[in-house]
Structure 1
Amino acid sequence: MRRTCSACSRMRHSRLSMRSKWGVAVFALATLPAWALPTFEAVKADWHSSDAVLLDRHGVEIQRVRVDMKQRRGDWVTLVETSPALRHALVVSEDKRFYAHSGIDWSAVAAAAWGNLWSSKTRGASTLTMQLVGLIDEDLRRDQGRRSFWQKAGQSVSARSLEHDWSKAQILEAYLNLVSFRGELVGLSAVSTTLFGKLPAGLNARESAIAAALIRAPNASSDRVTDRACVILKDMKARDDCGGLRGETQLALARKAVSDVQPESLAPHFARQVLVGAKAGQRIPTTLDAGLQRFANQTLRRHLLELSQRNVQDGAVIVLDNASGDVLAWVGSSGGLSRARDVDTVVALRQAGSTLKPFLYQLALEGRWLTAASLLDDAPLDLQTASGLYMPQNYARDFKGPVSVRTALASSLNVPAVRAIEIVTPNRLRDRLYALGLTSLSEAGDYYGYSLSLGAADVRLVDLANAYRALADGGVVSPPRVRRDAPVAPGKRITDAGTSFIIADILSDRTARSRTFGLESALATRYWSAVKTGTSKDMRDNWTVGFSRNYTVGVWVGNASGEPMWDVSGMHGAAPVWLAVMNRVQQSPSRPPAPPPGVTAQRVVFENGVEATRQEWFVKGTERGEVRLATAADVRSSPARIVNPANGAIYALDPDIPSQSQRIMFRAEGVSGGNWWLDGKRIGSGASLGWFPWPGRHLLQLRNAGGALVEERRFEVRGAVLKPGRKP
């Protein structure tokens, strides 16, 4: 017993000695100079979210995209924006005497020292202030979960300094924003939105207890977090008990597990265009209008739901400001209605349909080969091409007979468009479209052939809408703008103002379009607007693109998979969406534009009363008072070109036909006294010439009387094989 008591005495003396040394160490630390700490304002200014934030043109947040994948941080949350329950839970959990001490809780220090001597489990002595010092000073952060003696010393001294320079409210606010909760979640904003799906101001007592429990053990199991939260809830003396807390904790942590799944947002496809090179915390001012974007989204989806029984799933909408090129709305898909919701169909390649016709007729007007009053014969037409016989038909599979260019364009008749491209040539049309920004047309015009007039080429909705915007701007094209802080790009004149005015006037003429669409349709607005529809082969694509004086709206409807729709034309697919969005954006009056210089009005009478007498617009110098069907003289006045052979044509000699009976006919239009050159040698002249085919690849050229090159074509002749027994 004596030895035991003597041992006890020595043990007590040892413990008292250690307590004395601890007190001396603490006293010495209290006199050391503090580490240099930043101000509260500097800490707050240095904070940034892990997201890049997109703002609409009015400063409204429209999209957040996580850029920093190391940590998930939200915006800085002020103490006023924090739930009182959370503030209470944090204090009772981490620092009960937070409002009483001046950085160091001496009672907690003594209790911790005594507990360490007896190897008992006690709460650590670190106050919220000391923990905050470790968060803002890299030298004082934990090293593999533990701090060195001198780190603890520096932490204590700096905490006293921080309490002297910062208010309690600032300390609490900074701590809540800098502390880690679970995994990559840092700060109250991230944990509140990710785990509880609400803003920090809305956290209740239970949620606050769960959040506070995570600070002590961020990666603990659900059961341990629940037990800790229950203790905190009791310490808070909250009315809530711990019943059901386990299920609530499990739900919150389950949300964390799927937090990387992005919810459906307002403008995800537009964000991709803007966020290239964006940095975490960056707030990017965009050109988008959040209200219009939301309306376009809802309108598109509502209309597609109405068409769901006709095998229609996808759609896209873009709205451009004519003056600046600002993108006001960009709806890349139908969202949950689509099986390809991530595909941005604003930039996807789709077949253009009849939406290219305005640019075809504009070229014809510019070249003075046609006027808006010129008559074209809408009758069956067979054209020989490199790939065979081309027989265009109208959408209604009927023919209207002689029609003016105004009627042919407004009513979207196909055969007159093909007759027009015979005059203009596919190469000229392709080059014009490319210059207007439809850069997806990367092949030469002959690659597309006459069908280019009917839109047998793939284009992007954004490019097509911007080309229509050029029409609205009098022939001046500039790229669309997506960021408000980017300069407005200078425009480049591609077409003349006079023909742009005439084409726009035709597209606004509801009487001219009545042959196909009737007087009242989804293309008719209560204000001035010009619009064109398009439907591709097998009804795989619906388009409606048009503009008012202020805005251009483009709509595409179809299936991202390329499946055809079931009996859905542009009038029933894209046009209703176009009308609704145009009505929404064009709130102010839109009056007809004034005719530019070089455009004159003329009263015209049509031969045999084919169309009613009317006032028509002409490029100055092309006026006509009486209009008749095209004659041979009209054809001769059309641009010189080779009609046959088609570029890239392949001919095969038939061994069963005598060689002297086989000929390839070279034909030309619009040239008198022209000369034919083959492989660098002159072989004849005239509008047509028969040539005995010789195997090989050949270059055919048409030159005028002065020897200048008019046009050239490449073709191939493949040799025939003699039958057995036949002499050569």
Structure 2
Amino acid sequence: MSKSPNKAKKTMAAAVGVLLVAVVSVGANLADLPDSFAALTARSDRTQFLDRSGEPLNATYQSYWNTRDAMALHDMPPLLVKMFVFAEDKNFYDHGGVDWAARGAAVWQNVRAGGIVRGASTLTEQVARMIAPRKRTLFSKIVEGIDAARLERRFSKNDILEFYLNQVPYAANRRGIKQAARYYFSKTPDRLSVREAAALVVLVRAPSSFDPYRGAADINGPIDRRLESFAKAGIITPEQLESGLGETLKPAPPELTVEAPHFLRYLRDVGANGGAVDATLDAWLQKKVAGLTRRRLENLAKRNAGNAAVLVADVKTGDILVWAVESGGKNASAVNAVLTPRQPASAQKPLLYALALTKGMRASTKITDAPFSRAVGQGVHHFKNYSRTHYGAVTVRRALGNSLNIPALKTIEFVGVENYFRFLLDLGFARFDRGADYYREGLALGNAEATLFELTRAYLMLANGGVLKPLRAYKGQAVEPDRRVLPETAATLIGDILSDPFAREFEFGRDSVLNFPVQTAVKTGTSTGYRDAWAMGYNADFVAGVWIGNLDYSPMIDVTGASGAGLLLRSVFTELNKIRNSGGLRLSDGLVAQTVGGETEYFDPNVAETYAENNAAPVVLSPENGVMLAVDPRVPVEWQAYPFSVSDLPDGARVLWFVDGEKTAATTQKTFLWRPVKGSHTVVAEIVDRNGGKTVFPARTVIVK
């Protein structure tokens, strides 16, 4: 009996409805294919840091895509590529995304085996599955086939193959043949043996089951069978087959080329995130300098030196090449010592003299190096040179070269504390938590804390002839533009002084450890109590800074900038000079040579020499306002005295000293010894010149206890 027309129509409508639902369902589940594979892999939420040569600086493999170890197809070993195509999709170049013949054979084989023993997914289908992972069902297989056909229409065969070989997943979140070669064998793909290459092909089928780190026995059989199939197909030669079968698979766990955790932390702090970040660090140089630093700390361990940091940058680009932070088994190694504020001491003096050269000093200007006292806070400090030796009238060149303290104090008085303070702020010293009136003349001796990063950038400015250049940590980093902060004449003259062995011979000798084989501007610093030892330097190509101390601020035992940090700086430049054959430091064309006192000196003809100690306007040196004194009960009062003094007295002038409104002394000497009386006192100085003209100075408070 035939079906009624109405029933046939209903059946047809139902079939059409089911088909429409299926079409809609398939369409709704199709992958959102990218316009380019590069755009797809750029969607990474993890950051991989690479050194300037592409070496990994961190070992994160949490990104879904391989964003840092991708290779161009033409850079991949041809034999390895042929192995993958043969093993995974031998008809890859002949199908349009789905290999129907292979799929039919797989279905028949699975039916005969009574289960799934063969999948027959093409490389293109596997790529589709990577882009849009789905639960493995018959429906998802249909959708993947359609996606594969769409991929074939959008991308070339070579593009698909290149993507697959860069993104195929392995164990431990590794993706692609480059990461796999490094993970399993610590090699690049081009250095794999025939057996190791075959192992990568086998491992993609079941990375966990065949994991060679769990025992190579499980994978050896599949590798042998795969090698035999390669030989039968003519992909490898009989000799390669014999070699591959006779080789023992030896996994080799990978190691990072270099450790730079403090630098990586800084990278993240300055916004280097997402995907692969090309850092400026030189992994080889970082490893070398870190080793030198550790050995220097080992040598200084008995002298309680526990921490050290080294920063190296390229003079021309400002690229950071080395960021080494090491600990000798004590204190907080997690602290980023490059960014930790410490007292720079004399390492900051070149900046003071550079500014002075623009204000009226010359390298030949004479400054008197003699005993010098100043009230500091509520006490009096008697400044001394490191050697406790005074050299009388010395030139600016020798004052800086020998790092003399007294001339530096007179220089900051000439320049002006506020002017120097603002100059340091302009250079990027941002750790000052007080104003210039707090640090006062102590700024000349580096009493305000600064970081190795800040100090190195300042020396980079000197190396670039007065142009302030940012230190750059990664490619594409947003940095401030270069700007000039000093005349080229002043900056290059400082470099000439710091590289002159004769300029430093008073305190360091002519054969000092600071005299490098290649002309290098070098300056050291040692803070009070041996808490910080610094050595800064630059040549035509590199700038480097070294700090040694203890992050818990405990003192070292007689470790100075020269003996402690200077030796390490010398070793660092020995390595740097192996990289580039640096020439000499350049002197500005604007400098003019002139013989002064039998010596050739350079000066800027556009800056008049205005510094002259004898012609300076008198100032009250002591008492400092608010100074606090204490009477010593062990010494008779009449034997105790405190000096009131002025810097100078013109010919025929005298100074009157008033204490609490009463004239206490009238003298033609610059210094008057006042007998302290307990209590709070107001002191006023008045200079009367030979014509009766008067200069009255502001009142100062002296407290005697």
Q: TM-score, normalised by structure 1?
A: 0.68
Q: 1:350 aligns to what SS in structure 2?
A: coil
Q: 1:314 aligns to what SS in structure 2?
A: strand
- Over 3 Å counting, the alpha-carbon distance change for 1:168 and 1:502 in structure 2 is closer
User: Is 1:622 aligned to residue 613 of structure 2?
Assistant: no
User: Is 1:176 aligned to residue 157 of structure 2?
Assistant: no
Question: Following the alignment from structure 1 to structure 2, what is the Cα–Cα distance between the partners of residues 242 and 105?
Answer: 37
Aligned to 1:461: 452
Aligned to 1:298: 288
Task: Please tell me whether the aligned partners of residues 297 and 331 of structure 1 are also in contact (alpha carbons under 8 angstroms).
Answer: no
Question: Following the alignment from structure 1 to structure 2, what is the Cα–Cα distance between the partners of residues 347 and 708?
Answer: 48
Question: Following the alignment from structure 2 to structure 1, what is the Cα–Cα distance between the partners of residues 353 and 422?
Answer: 14
Task: Please tell me whether the aligned partners of residues 290 and 324 of structure 2 are also in contact (alpha carbons under 8 angstroms).
Answer: no
| Counterpart amino acid of residue 384 in structure 1 | A
- 1:441 is matched with which residue: 389, 407, 432? 432
Q: Structure 1 residue 316: deviation in Å?
A: 0.4
Aligned to 1:556: 547
Range with bigger deviation, 93-102 or 46-55: 93-102
Q: Structure 1 residue 425: deviation in Å?
A: 6.0
Task: Please tell me whether the aligned partners of residues 315 and 559 of structure 1 are also in contact (alpha carbons under 8 angstroms).
Answer: no
Q: 1:390 aligns to what SS in structure 2?
A: strand
Q: Structure 1 residue 353: deviation in Å?
A: 2.3
Q: 2:325 aligns to what SS in structure 1?
A: coil
| Counterpart amino acid of residue 378 in structure 1 | A
- Over 3 Å counting, the alpha-carbon distance change for 1:85 and 1:518 in structure 2 is same
Aligned to 2:471: 480
Q: Structure 1 residue 135: deviation in Å?
A: 2.0
User: Is 1:109 aligned to residue 104 of structure 2?
Assistant: yes
Question: Following the alignment from structure 1 to structure 2, what is the Cα–Cα distance between the partners of residues 549 and 137?
Answer: 50
Task: Please tell me whether the aligned partners of residues 407 and 513 of structure 1 are also in contact (alpha carbons under 8 angstroms).
Answer: yes
| Counterpart amino acid of residue 616 in structure 2 | S
- Over 3 Å counting, the alpha-carbon distance change for 1:553 and 1:85 in structure 2 is closer
User: Is 1:510 aligned to residue 501 of structure 2?
Assistant: yes
User: Is 1:186 aligned to residue 175 of structure 2?
Assistant: yes
- 2:570 is matched with which residue: 570, 576, 588? 576
Q: 2:170 aligns to what SS in structure 1?
A: strand
Task: Please tell me whether the aligned partners of residues 297 and 327 of structure 2 are also in contact (alpha carbons under 8 angstroms).
Answer: no
Task: Please tell me whether the aligned partners of residues 128 and 144 of structure 2 are also in contact (alpha carbons under 8 angstroms).
Answer: yes
User: Is 1:146 aligned to residue 142 of structure 2?
Assistant: no
| Counterpart amino acid of residue 596 in structure 1 | G
User: 1:87-126, aligned counterparts within 5 Å?
Assistant: 103-106=98-101, 108-109=103-104, 112=107, 115=110, 120-126=114-120
Alpha-carbon displacement from aligned partner over 1:69-114 (angstroms, at most 9, x marks no partner): 3436253345555567766775676567768877335465366367
Task: Please tell me whether the aligned partners of residues 269 and 330 of structure 1 are also in contact (alpha carbons under 8 angstroms).
Answer: no
User: Is 1:319 aligned to residue 313 of structure 2?
Assistant: yes
Question: Following the alignment from structure 2 to structure 1, what is the Cα–Cα distance between the partners of residues 696 and 50?
Answer: 55
User: 1:559-708, aligned counterparts within 5 Å?
Assistant: 562=553, 564-572=555-563, 573-574=565-566, 575-577=569-571, 579-580=573-574, 583=577, 587=581, 589-590=583-584, 593-594=587-588, 596=590, 601=594, 603-604=596-597, 613-616=598-601, 621-622=608-609, 634=614, 637-638=616-617, 640=619, 643-646=622-625, 649=627
Alpha-carbon displacement from aligned partner over 1:350-402 (angstroms, at most 9, x marks no partner): 321211223334555555589743241334x4443225342333333444445
Q: Percent identity?
A: 26
Question: Following the alignment from structure 1 to structure 2, what is the Cα–Cα distance between the partners of residues 499 and 189?
Answer: 52
Q: 1:384 aligns to what SS in structure 2?
A: strand
Aligned to 1:265: 258
| Counterpart amino acid of residue 325 in structure 2 | S
Task: Please tell me whether the aligned partners of residues 85 and 203 of structure 1 are also in contact (alpha carbons under 8 angstroms).
Answer: no
User: 1:273-288, aligned counterparts within 5 Å?
Assistant: 273-274=266-267, 276-282=270-276, 284=278
- Over 3 Å counting, the alpha-carbon distance change for 1:228 and 1:552 in structure 2 is closer
Q: Structure 1 residue 297: deviation in Å?
A: 5.2
User: Is 1:388 aligned to residue 379 of structure 2?
Assistant: yes
| Counterpart amino acid of residue 609 in structure 2 | T
Aligned to 2:343: 351
Question: Following the alignment from structure 1 to structure 2, what is the Cα–Cα distance between the partners of residues 280 and 439?
Answer: 29
- Over 3 Å counting, the alpha-carbon distance change for 1:529 and 1:351 in structure 2 is same
Range with bigger deviation, 412-421 or 77-86: 77-86
**How many residues in Structure 1 have an aligned counterpart in Structure 2?**
641
Range with bigger deviation, 459-468 or 358-367: 358-367
Q: Structure 1 residue 471: deviation in Å?
A: 4.0
Task: Please tell me whether the aligned partners of residues 301 and 337 of structure 1 are also in contact (alpha carbons under 8 angstroms).
Answer: no
Task: Please tell me whether the aligned partners of residues 195 and 223 of structure 2 are also in contact (alpha carbons under 8 angstroms).
Answer: no
Task: Please tell me whether the aligned partners of residues 367 and 395 of structure 2 are also in contact (alpha carbons under 8 angstroms).
Answer: yes
Task: Please tell me whether the aligned partners of residues 34 and 161 of structure 1 are also in contact (alpha carbons under 8 angstroms).
Answer: no
Task: Please tell me whether the aligned partners of residues 401 and 504 of structure 2 are also in contact (alpha carbons under 8 angstroms).
Answer: yes
Q: Structure 1 residue 664: deviation in Å?
A: 11
Question: Following the alignment from structure 1 to structure 2, what is the Cα–Cα distance between the partners of residues 677 and 336?
Answer: 58
Question: Following the alignment from structure 2 to structure 1, what is the Cα–Cα distance between the partners of residues 465 and 215?
Answer: 70
- Over 3 Å counting, the alpha-carbon distance change for 1:504 and 1:132 in structure 2 is closer
| Counterpart amino acid of residue 291 in structure 2 | R
- Over 3 Å counting, the alpha-carbon distance change for 1:37 and 1:674 in structure 2 is farther
Question: Following the alignment from structure 2 to structure 1, what is the Cα–Cα distance between the partners of residues 473 and 431?
Answer: 21
Range with bigger deviation, 385-394 or 335-344: 335-344
Q: Structure 1 residue 466: deviation in Å?
A: 2.8
Question: Following the alignment from structure 1 to structure 2, what is the Cα–Cα distance between the partners of residues 198 and 113?
Answer: 40
Question: Following the alignment from structure 1 to structure 2, what is the Cα–Cα distance between the partners of residues 432 and 34?
Answer: 65
Task: Please tell me whether the aligned partners of residues 301 and 334 of structure 1 are also in contact (alpha carbons under 8 angstroms).
Answer: no
- 2:365 is matched with which residue: 373, 394, 397? 373
Aligned to 2:690: none
Task: Please tell me whether the aligned partners of residues 555 and 577 of structure 1 are also in contact (alpha carbons under 8 angstroms).
Answer: no
Q: 2:36 aligns to what SS in structure 1?
A: helix
Question: Following the alignment from structure 2 to structure 1, what is the Cα–Cα distance between the partners of residues 328 and 78?
Answer: 38
Question: Following the alignment from structure 2 to structure 1, what is the Cα–Cα distance between the partners of residues 383 and 110?
Answer: 94
Q: Structure 1 residue 310: deviation in Å?
A: 2.4
Alpha-carbon displacement from aligned partner over 1:549-586 (angstroms, at most 9, x marks no partner): 66544333445565555554333432523653674577
Q: 1:458 aligns to what SS in structure 2?
A: coil
User: Is 1:308 aligned to residue 269 of structure 2?
Assistant: no
Structure 1: gaps spanning 5 or more residues:
1-24, 605-612, 656-661, 721-728
User: Is 1:452 aligned to residue 443 of structure 2?
Assistant: yes
Aligned to 1:76: 70
Task: Please tell me whether the aligned partners of residues 65 and 167 of structure 2 are also in contact (alpha carbons under 8 angstroms).
Answer: no
Q: What RMSD over aligned residues (CA atoms) do the two structures have, in Å?
A: 5.7
Question: Following the alignment from structure 1 to structure 2, what is the Cα–Cα distance between the partners of residues 391 and 174?
Answer: 72
Q: 1:332 aligns to what SS in structure 2?
A: strand
Q: 2:587 aligns to what SS in structure 1?
A: coil
Q: 2:141 aligns to what SS in structure 1?
A: helix
Question: Following the alignment from structure 1 to structure 2, what is the Cα–Cα distance between the partners of residues 264 and 318?
Answer: 18
- 2:54 is matched with which residue: 28, 41, 61? 61
Q: Structure 1 residue 669: deviation in Å?
A: 5.3
Task: Please tell me whether the aligned partners of residues 297 and 328 of structure 2 are also in contact (alpha carbons under 8 angstroms).
Answer: no
Question: Following the alignment from structure 1 to structure 2, what is the Cα–Cα distance between the partners of residues 479 and 677?
Answer: 53
Question: Following the alignment from structure 2 to structure 1, what is the Cα–Cα distance between the partners of residues 286 and 57?
Answer: 20
Aligned to 1:20: none
Q: 1:532 aligns to what SS in structure 2?
A: strand
Q: TM-score, normalised by structure 2?
A: 0.69
Question: Following the alignment from structure 1 to structure 2, what is the Cα–Cα distance between the partners of residues 406 and 461?
Answer: 25
- 2:532 is matched with which residue: 534, 541, 551? 541
